[in-house]
Amino acid sequence: MELFDVTIVGGGPAGLYSAFYSGLRDLKTKIIEFQPTLGGKVNIFLEKMLWDVGGQPPIVAAQFIDNLVNQAMTFQPTICLETKVQTIRKEQHYFVIETNDGTAHYSKTVIIATGGGIYKPIKLAIDGAKKYEMTNLHYTIKVIDRFRNHDVLISGGGNGAVDWAVELLPIAKSVTLIYRKEELTAHEAQVRKLRESGASIMLNSELVSLQSNDEKTAIEQVVICQNGENTTAKMDDIIISHGYDREVSLDFDAAIRPERKDDYYLQSIGKCQTTVPGIFGAGDIVAYEDKVNLLIGTFQDAVLAVNSAKLYMNPEANHYAMVSSHNEKFREKNQALYAQI
């Protein structure tokens, strides 16, 4: 039995920064991630520009993930990919984390960093839509240049849809956004930018039909219903941004089930501690007053969770780690960097 100090469930931004900070605090660390790659939900938007990380210039999501992963690997945590946590129970003074492959992982503490669960895009509910997913019906954008000089239709009115519409403005030949409600619900600045761009915005509208080309391999035309009237439009690509279904199958043994908010989120009792001693939360999964659901808030959660885990194992430990620039683990690296300046 190999016993870890901290096991982090989830390899998104919260889990990755938790792993880095855990190493900084000299804790033996493991990450268990369901997906085949680290990065979490950010992997859905690999070419999206991220603006909301303090002190960081706007950065492409793919590069942001690379940076996070490289940072997380600083102290060489154990990584388990394509592994799904099913149950967590406690035995004596450690937790047993059981996964879908029949393996039991042992840890003194657990940090839950599963975000909103395992995300799957909500698919378009139109007969025959699935066959176009290999050609020009998209639920995410991996290579934005693929849409260069194309007429693009985006269905959705939230942040994902509007952000993609704004990103595509200098790339696509035309951008049309349709939304079933009366007002867009995305960030105000992005909505204003989209409106001022001259892009076509159709409210009270939804896709009702897809019409294929002669080879029946791709969508050539779409039928849009707006205020009860149908119109037909030719499009090169269709992007569906209707949100995500989430699978929430992680369970706790009846003896250690932490208090939840809204039947899902882990309720923090302070410093990202749950109501179960030794189990902590970081990122979107944890709820508390004045919670900030942005990347910058995720990093604070990770620090709080790791510090709480450290104190749980050793009440005499420092409440906070020394700042990384002074940490002895970085002494040689810092000297090398200063020598280059």
Q: Are residues 147 and 128 in the same domain?
A: yes
Read off the tokens for 216.
């029946």
Q: Are residues 136 and 235 in the same domain?
A: yes
Give pLDDT tens digits along the chain (341 positions).
899 999 999 999 999 999 999 999 999 999 999 989 999 888 777 777 887 777 878 888 889 999 999 999 999 999 999 999 999 999 989 999 999 999 999 999 999 999 877 667 889 999 889 999 989 999 988 788 999 999 999 999 998 899 999 999 999 999 999 999 999 999 899 999 999 998 999 999 999 999 998 778 899 999 999 999 999 999 999 999 998 777 666 889 988 999 999 888 899 999 999 999 999 999 999 999 999 888 889 999 999 999 999 999 999 998 887 666 666 667 666 666 667 76
Q: Are residues 255 and 112 in the same domain?
A: yes
One-character DSSP codes across 159-203:
HHHHHHHHHHTTTSSEEEEE-SSSS--S-HHHHHHHHHHT-EEE-
Cβ-contact 5, 314 below 8 angstroms: no
Q: Which residues pair with 176 in a beta bridge?
A: 153, 200
Report DSSP state, residue 10: -
Tally of domains within the chain: 2
Cβ-contact 153, 239 below 8 angstroms: yes
Domain holding 35: CATH number? 3.50.50.60
Read off the tokens for 19.
């792993």
Cα distance from N-terminal residue to C-terminal residue, the chain: 46
Tell which of 209, 240, 271 closes a domain: 240
Q: Which residues pair with 110 in a beta bridge?
A: 7, 279
Q: Are residues 67 and 130 in the same domain?
A: no
pTM attached to this predicted model: 0.76
Dist CA 54 CA 50 (whole Å) = 11
CB atoms within 10 A of CB 127: 8
Q: Are residues 222 and 299 in the same domain?
A: no
Q: Which pLDDT belongs to residue 248? A: 64
Read off the tokens for 147.
């849409």
Tell which of 196, 222, 240 closes a domain: 240
Q: Are residues 130 and 107 in the same domain?
A: no
Domain interval for residue 152: 123-240
Amino acid at 153: L
Read off the tokens for 220.
């050539």
Dist CA 251 CA 203 (whole Å) = 41
Q: Are residues 255 and 302 in the same domain?
A: yes
Q: Are residues 173 and 97 in the same domain?
A: no
Tell which of 214, 240, 266 closes a domain: 240
Q: Which pLDDT belongs to residue 339? A: 72
CB atoms within 10 A of CB 79: 18
